Structure 1
Amino acid sequence: MTTNYPAIPDDFPREPAKGAVGGYQPKVLLRRAGDRLISGLTDEELFKRYEACEDLVQQLASYVRRQRAESQSQSLFDTLSRIEIDATRKVTSGQWDISPAEITWTMKRVRELLAEKLKADGTPGMPET
């Protein structure tokens, strides 16, 4: 039985399976998923990772908007930079189960959402990072 998942954006990271096998000859890293041997994530696993990242995008975008409403003294660029540093620190320390490529995608997506909101509000665009 196959499940149809909503389309995952083409730019969402699809990282190869991680692992190592000792020995001289090259090896292919596979794992059993149901009755198949696969390399990488199943469609369901990829969708769950995408869904988690998209949820984080929405939370971070809301957080940035609240921070901006409370403190107009800090620029949007500075707010985003600080949040990206904090998020990256949580990923590298193992607090969040998100890959470095996924946090990069997540922050890019947060910037896109905020740019859309600024454009809709008629506010001048934000700087590129």
Structure 2
Amino acid sequence: MSEISVPDDFPRAGRSGAVSGAQTKFLARLIDGKFITGLTDEELRERYVACEDLVQQLARYAAQKLADNPSSPADEVLDRVKAGVRKKVRLGTWTLSSAEIDWIMNRVRRMLSDRNAL
């Protein structure tokens, strides 16, 4: 999987967390003898692959919705798709950060624009 290149615009922020107490702390994991904050390169690639797969699925879904109802504005369809994604995250079905959701929806929007330009 290491041959997959993660685009520069893909969100790189790791998961956040909190630790109680008065002393200064930082969240890190011990991986292969090193303290790692955020995602490892492999974890980042895995998240990118999962998000890109979701982009492909959502772009097909949105394109089908637009084809089924050509009078619907694309922005309205994309807003409904984004609301559905946020609901899945809120219910715990999907684990996506806000930055990943924004990245996904921007990619879906670009894909739909590219399809309409043809």
User: Normalising to structure 2: TM-score of the pair?
Assistant: 0.90
- 5+ long unaligned stretches in structure 1: 122-129
Matched, 1:20 2:18: yes
For the 8 Å contact 1:31–1:37, the answer to whether it is kept is yes
Q: How many residues align?
A: 118
* Cα RMSD (Å): 1.5
CA contact (8 A) 2:59 2:111 kept: yes
Higher relative contact order (CA 8 A, sep 6+): 2
TM-score (norm 1): 0.83
Percent of aligned positions that are identical: 45
Unaligned runs of 5+ in 2: none
- Structure 1, residues 20-69: CA drift from partner, whole Å, max 9, x if none? 22221211211112222111111111110010000000000001111111
- Pick aligned residue for 2:75 from 74, 77, 85: 77
Q: Which secondary structure state, in structure 2, belongs to the residue aligned with residue 32 of structure 1?
A: strand
CA distance in structure 2 between the partners assigned to 1:7 and 1:56 by the alignment: 17
Q: How does 1:82-97 map to 2 (within 5 A)?
A: 82-97=80-95
Matching residue of 1:107: 105
1:6 partner amino acid: I
Could you say which structure has the larger radius of gyration? 1
